[in-house]
């Protein structure tokens, strides 16, 4: 329920974690999906996707 209160500012720190994870795991797909989902929950990218 707190996710709705998250703002795009939260996306910046999350990207840093994903870059580290992708380097360690060697797979960028899974972390990117997590970032995409978290961004979708914030409603930051959702309007863009709906327009397409």
- Asked if the model's pLDDT at residue 37 lies above 70, the reply is yes
Residue 38's pLDDT band, with cuts at 50, 70 and 90, is: confident
- Residues 1-27: what's their mean pLDDT? 53
First to last CA, the chain: 27
pLDDT above 60 for 31: yes
Q: Which residues contact 32 (CB under 8 A, 6 or more apart)?
A: 18, 22
């Amino acid at each position: 329920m707190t996710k709705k209160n998250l703002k795009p500012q939260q996306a910046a720190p999350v990207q840093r974690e994903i870059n580290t994870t992708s380097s360690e795991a060697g797979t960028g797909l899974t972390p990117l999906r997590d970032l995409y989902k978290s961004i979708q929950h914030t409603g930051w990218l959702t309007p863009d996707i709906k327009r397409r």
